[in-house]
Structure 1
Amino acid sequence: MSDELSWFKSSYSDSEGSACLEVAHSTNEFSHSIRRTVHVRDSKLGARSPRFTVPPDAWSAFLAYASLGA
């Protein structure tokens, strides 16, 4: 799998880059519709990191939950 995504870290990440997630957004045309996805990986492993992909509404729900400090 090529790494054509533009990955970024949270502004809350420390300067050493440890224990961070990196996120990338993509938009693809799929069966006559637009499919947007959010890709997530571990920053420590970079391009070698396993990734998972979620729809934007699931990512937004996760961020809302995480911001509660739960």
Structure 2
Amino acid sequence: MRLHQDQLQVLLVFAKEDNQSNGFCWACEKAGFRCNIARTPESALECFLDKHHEIIIIDHRHSRYFDA
């Protein structure tokens, strides 16, 4: 019997799509992680409660969009 570990899940919380968010997503996929992207705090919370991600990265460069 062979046991294998589930992929780590990463939640990226970015207010808008840019090179930074694309780079993080690419790096997660390259590392073999499952990646979800949320654009609003509400969608981030909903996504987290649904999937219970192990890693969460919040972009705070545009602080008017998020209260990190």
Using the size of structure 1 for normalisation, the TM-score is: 0.27
Larger fraction in helix: 2
Larger fraction in strand: 1
Which structure carries more relative contact order (alpha carbon 8 Å, separation 6+)? Answer: 2
Using the size of structure 2 for normalisation, the TM-score is: 0.28
